[in-house]
Chains A and B, each alone.
Chain A
Amino acid sequence: MQKTLKRYFPIFVLPTLIAFSFAFIIPFVMGVYLSFCKFKTITNAQFVGLENYIKIFADKDFVNAFGFTLKFSVVSIITINVFAFILALALTRKIKGTNLFRTVFFMPNLIGGIILGYIWQQMINAVLLKYETTLVANPTYGFWGLIILMNWQMIGYMMIIYVAGLQNVPTDLIEAAEIDGATSLQTLFKVKIPMVMPSITICLFLTVSNSFKLFDQNLALTAGAPSKKTAMLALDIYNTFYGRSGFEGVGQAKAVLFFIVVAVIALGQLVLTRRKEVEQ
């Protein structure tokens, strides 16, 4: 069978491969090469070695964006997962209206980042109006605004995954713990959480990569204001490419660095939590 199928390569693989080359392979390879070049358009590149990478570390905006992204990621990953897990516990108690709650909590997840960003920009500005200030007056407002926005968007998604995990915990295991006299907190920490470790792995992975790569919400909510203090890494890279003429090479070098950071964090985290999973 393999032999006959093998001859069908042009039909089965080629269309995807062509699209994949245009969207990913060629741009990726060019991107890596161009990060060592000075260029304005991609056809007139001039090799400059590590110059672009050296310039990154002198760039205060990038360092600031890195710090902001890190701070934002830590706070949002913790809040989203804790709230989502609590909601999932509440929704697995067979309370009336569970379906309606689930529908509402999940809904924001489907709305696009740009639209979400502007909805919250208006909401938060309306609240801050009472204190005669605006979202862009202080980077702290932008930070917490982004945290609230991302919680609103992601909690439902993570909750759904935790619900699926919790429903798979065998009931006899929980009953056995109860008969042995475990308190509900002990059941939670000694039985339920170890058993849903695979869900926790997935949710952490999704929230980590999502927070690190966040762009649309950041652009719509504050666009980095005031004075780029609330710009995250993706937005800073975008601004370097399209906001500063002559810095395309630096932008590309930042993008390569960004890719490496994202890859290391995502894979590292995956390896770490996979180790904690219990065999079921």
Chain B
Amino acid sequence: MTKKKTSNVIIFCILCVLVVAFLTPIFFVLINSFKGKLFISNNPFALPTAETFAGLTNYVNGIEKTGFFTAFGWSAFITVFSVAAIILFTSMTAYYLTRVKTGVTNVLYYMFVFSMIVPFQMVMFTMSKLANMTHLNNPPGMVLLYLGFGSGLSVFMFCGFIKSIPLDIEEAAMIDGCNPLQTFFGVVMPILKPTAITVAILNAMWIWNDYLLPYLVIGLSTNYKTIPVVVQYLVGSYGAKDLGAMMALLVLSVIPIIVFYLTCQKYIIEGVVAGAVKG
């Protein structure tokens, strides 16, 4: 027993060191975001001093150069509505595909499953051109596209769960005079809630952080830029780098994620495990 205790103490110490190592990059960006932009490259690991401290200048610069709050708004708009649409429509589709057994539903189901293994690059060019031609190059259009892209995994996960729900409850509801819509929203949807949370978290994480789809479809010229797009826009290829503004912007982009994570941690971790096991 004592042998186990000493090894646990050693493991505890190693884990503490690892925690510090894991947090270093975040702190690194944080301390540098408060330094004057010309001082950052001199001694990047030093804390800001009276001479190098720049207050919130970098934050003001970064926000002005990129319109960060507008980007935050569009990121939130696209994420919230896409996730809502995915939950609503793919759960209905999954219900139909599981309960109605025909050749058509079978083919559709396998098409959704198939889409999960196709890398984005395969459809990247044709999809963004098609979206331009059909005027989907705006936030509501993005919601439609995310519903389409998210449907593979989401339909698959909902189907897996709906299969395990006994038919009796639904049949009882039908006999009581419910039409399929009433049955679905009144009886099936409440049972689906845990899966719906998992699907919502997996999709929210992906859509919030997605860079390529909004960049290709909406582009840089409009005011609909999302957070990953403005970060790339500021740091990527445009003119002389303002390291200070960049650090500030990175901090600003990480804050909403950490807040979201710390408030919904339980659901996120459960969702990720459930999603991985089913996916």
Residues of A near any B CB (own CB < 8 A)? 1-2, 4-6, 8-9, 11-13, 15-28, 30-31, 34, 41-42, 87, 90, 93, 95-97, 100-115, 118-120, 122-123, 125-126, 129, 152, 157, 160-161, 164, 198, 202-203, 206, 209, 212-213, 215-216, 219-220, 223, 233-234, 237-238, 241, 248, 251-252, 255-256, 258-259, 262-263, 266-267
The B interface, classified by DSSP as helix, strand, loop or mixed, is helix
Residues of B within 8 A of A115 (CB): 209, 228, 231, 250, 253-254
Report whether A234 and B254 are in contact in the complex, using a CB–CB cutoff of 8 Å. Answer: no
Least CB distance, A26 to chain B, in whole angstroms: 6
Given contacts A1-B167, A111-B254, A120-B25, list 4 more A-B pairs with CB under 8 A: A8-B181, A20-B152, A160-B269, A255-B125
Q: Given B23, B96, B276, which contacts A13 in the complex, CB threshold below 8 Å?
A: B96
Interface residues on B, range: 35 or more
Cβ of B112 within 8 Å of any chain A Cβ, yes or no, is yes
Q: Given A9, A120, A161, A241, which contacts B273 in the complex, CB threshold below 8 Å?
A: A161
CA A152 – CA B25 in complex, angstroms? 10
Report whether B145 and A22 are in contact in the complex, using a CB–CB cutoff of 8 Å. Answer: yes
Give the number of A-B contacts (CB < 8 Å): 279
Closest to A25 in B: B111
CA A249 – CA B202 in complex, angstroms? 33
Q: Given A15, A24, A28, A202, which contacts B277 in the complex, CB threshold below 8 Å?
A: A202
CA A248 – CA B211 in complex, angstroms? 21
Residues of B within 8 A of A95 (CB): 8, 11-12, 15
Q: Given B44, B101, B120, B276, which contacts A161 in the complex, CB threshold below 8 Å?
A: B276
Residues of A within 8 A of B92 (CB): 11-13, 15-16
Report whether B209 and A111 are in contact in the complex, using a CB–CB cutoff of 8 Å. Answer: yes
Mask, B260-278, CB within 8 Å of A = 1, is: 1110010011001100110
CA A234 – CA B95 in complex, angstroms? 35
Mask, B135-174, CB within 8 Å of A = 1, is: 0100000001111110110010000000000010011001
Closest to B123 in A: A27
Residues of A within 8 A of B247 (CB): 122
Given the known interface contacts A13-B96, A107-B258, A258-B119, the answer about A216 and B136 at a Cβ–Cβ threshold of 8 Å is no
Q: Given B144, B232, B269, which contacts A19 in the complex, CB threshold below 8 Å?
A: B144
Report whether B96 and A9 are in contact in the complex, using a CB–CB cutoff of 8 Å. Answer: yes
Report whether B19 and A101 are in contact in the complex, using a CB–CB cutoff of 8 Å. Answer: yes
Cβ of B61 within 8 Å of any chain A Cβ, yes or no, is no
Residues of B within 8 A of A215 (CB): 120-121, 212
Stretch of B26-34, B52-60, B65-73 lying at the A interface: B26-34
Report whether A4 and B93 are in contact in the complex, using a CB–CB cutoff of 8 Å. Answer: no
Q: Given A11, A125, A255, A267, which contacts B181 in the complex, CB threshold below 8 Å?
A: A11
Q: Given B100, B149, B205, which contacts A6 in the complex, CB threshold below 8 Å?
A: B100
CA A238 – CA B126 in complex, angstroms? 13
CA A90 – CA B11 in complex, angstroms? 7
Given the known interface contacts A1-B99, A22-B136, A30-B126, the answer about A16 and B90 at a Cβ–Cβ threshold of 8 Å is yes
Cβ of B240 within 8 Å of any chain A Cβ, yes or no, is no
Residues of B within 8 A of A213 (CB): 119-121
CA A105 – CA B272 in complex, angstroms? 14
Report whether B115 and A234 are in contact in the complex, using a CB–CB cutoff of 8 Å. Answer: no
- Residue among A87, A115, A258 with max Cβ neighbours from chain B (10 Å): A115
Q: Given B29, B45, B129, B208, which contacts A112 in the complex, CB threshold below 8 Å?
A: B208
CA A20 – CA B154 in complex, angstroms? 12
Q: B97-143: which have CB < 8 Å to A?
A: 97, 99-102, 108, 111-112, 115, 117-127, 129-131, 134, 136
Q: Given B12, B147, B171, which contacts A1 in the complex, CB threshold below 8 Å?
A: B171
Residues of B within 8 A of A220 (CB): 232, 235
CA A42 – CA B257 in complex, angstroms? 38
Closest to B95 in A: A12
Q: Can you offer 27 A-B residue contacts whose CB atoms are under 8 A?
A: A1-B171, A1-B174, A8-B180, A13-B96, A16-B147, A16-B155, A19-B145, A20-B147, A20-B152, A24-B152, A31-B126, A41-B129, A90-B11, A93-B11, A95-B11, A107-B22, A107-B258, A107-B261, A110-B260, A112-B208, A113-B228, A123-B28, A160-B269, A198-B277, A234-B120, A255-B119, A255-B124
- Residue among B97, B121, B149 with max Cβ neighbours from chain A (10 Å): B121
Report whether B265 and A259 are in contact in the complex, using a CB–CB cutoff of 8 Å. Answer: no
Least CB distance, B187 to chain A, in whole angstroms: 12
Residues of A within 8 A of B120 (CB): 213, 215, 234
Report whether A259 and B119 are in contact in the complex, using a CB–CB cutoff of 8 Å. Answer: yes
CA A171 – CA B276 in complex, angstroms? 24
Report whether B174 and A4 are in contact in the complex, using a CB–CB cutoff of 8 Å. Answer: yes
Cβ of B200 within 8 Å of any chain A Cβ, yes or no, is no
Least CB distance, A129 to chain B, in whole angstroms: 7
CA A90 – CA B211 in complex, angstroms? 35
Residues of A within 8 A of B32 (CB): 122
Report whether A23 and B180 are in contact in the complex, using a CB–CB cutoff of 8 Å. Answer: no
Q: Given B41, B112, B181, B236, which contacts A20 in the complex, CB threshold below 8 Å?
A: B112
Report whether A251 and B125 are in contact in the complex, using a CB–CB cutoff of 8 Å. Answer: yes
Residues of B within 8 A of A27 (CB): 123, 126-127, 130
CA A27 – CA B89 in complex, angstroms? 21
Residues of A within 8 A of B151 (CB): 16, 19-20, 23-24
